[in-house]
Amino acid sequence: MASNICTRLEIAIFMVGFVCAKLVLPMCGNISEVFEYNWAPNHIISQGDQIKLTLDNVSGCGFESKKKYLFGQASVQIKLIEGDSAGTVTAFYMASEGPVHDELDFEFLGNVSGEPYLVQTNIYVNGTGNREQRHTLWFDPTLDFHTYSFFWNRHLIVFLVDGIPIRVFTNKEDKGLLFPRQQAMSIRGSVWNADDWATQGGKVKINWTNAPFFSTFRSFIIDARELLPETDDIMAQCGKLGRFWWDKPAFVVLNRHRSHQLKWARRKHLVYDYCKDKARFTELPRECIS
């Protein structure tokens, strides 16, 4: 059976927690047409419409979209490593290339059995990250598939879990701060050994007797502007403001309901915020105080 991913179908959905809108969403196509297995392909199993990533004591693995995108939405459903996953990281992220790359991260930090997963989000702009937040989840992400999404336009970046915003990164270029809007990014997934830092600061290592470890990805949705390699003219390709649905006024800020959801997620589930880590920074980053 051929693996599947969305391409285009108009339907009405409650999109990324902003408003109900008629949008262009994917219809089934072949996963191999959209993604390439660029790291340890012998550790990747394609099963129907699913991609299963394997980590063992030899290697992790990963995949990447063949195309790059600038603004829009990318979503996937993931079922994370079951049982004792300490020291492992499963990642769903977007990234450009090079030392001054932009990047948006979901990193799922494994834990010992009975202890909760942490989801770490991070944002790189022109090669600089160090913008980590960590949240617990309000469900067990190993029992079933859950949806993780990036929404990205010229105004803000939203990280969503099952349609609930857990983080918003706002464009503050008017205050002299950088925002990732010049580099197209590919969509990627991976699983890897990070036991030098992922669980309790690296105190708990991977128990390799539990290997191999599996994380499974399915139901990809990519509704974003593909950036062609033939030109570097961003405006020529993306056009005037308002051309795409994500440029509409309704998507400039979260609505009141979603703002309440964000506050709930922060109040109940945020366990680390770089903007509050005075021990880490002699001077807090400017975006934290602007």
The pLDDT value recorded for residue 238 is 55
Residue of 84, 37, 83 whose CA lies nearest to 62: 37
pLDDT of residue 233: 58
Q: Rounded to two decimals, what is the model's pTM? A: 0.90
On the question of pLDDT at 76 being above 90, the answer is yes
- Over range 124-133, report the average pLDDT: 97
Residues with catalytic roles: 103, 107
72 vs 281, residue with greater confidence: 72
Task: Tell me the per-residue pLDDT of 270-283, one tens digit each, with 9 for 90 and over.
Answer: 999 999 998 998 88
Q: What is the pLDDT of residue 114?
A: 87
99-110, pLDDT tens digit by residue? Answer: 999 999 999 999
Is residue 115 predicted with pLDDT exceeding 50? yes
Residue 79 confidence (pLDDT) above 50:
yes
pLDDT value at position 242?
A: 58
Cα distance between residue 128 and residue 242, in whole Å: 29
Q: How confident is the model at residue 32 (pLDDT cuts 50, 70, 90)?
A: confident
Q: Which CATH number is 29-288 given?
A: 2.60.120.200
What's the pLDDT band for 237 if we cut at 50, 70, 90? low
Q: Give the single-character DSSP code of 210.
A: G
Q: Which residue has the higher pLDDT, 242 or 142?
A: 142
Structure tokens at 245: 């649905």
Three-class secondary structure of residue 12 per DSSP: strand
Residue 47 confidence (pLDDT): 80
Residue 7's pLDDT is: 43
Contact 182, 278 (CB under 8 A): no
- Please provide residue 188's backbone torsions phi and psi, each rounded to the nearest 5 degrees: -135, 160
Residue 208 has pLDDT above 90, yes or no: yes
Question: What mean pLDDT comes out for the span 213-221?
Answer: 97
> How large is the average pLDDT for residues 131-140?
98
The per-residue pLDDT for 33 is 86
Type of residue numbered 240: K
Higher pLDDT, 157 or 243: 157
Comparing 25 with 95, the larger pLDDT belongs to: 95
Listed by start position, the domains of the chain span 29-288
Using CA atoms, how far residue 42 sits from 59, 64, 80, 192, 270, in Å, is 10, 15, 20, 14, 36
Residue 164 pLDDT grade (very low, low, confident, very high; cuts 50, 70, 90)? very high
Using CA atoms, how far apart are residues 103 and 184, in angstroms rounded to an integer?
10
What are phi and psi for residue 46, nearest 5 degrees? Answer: -100, 120
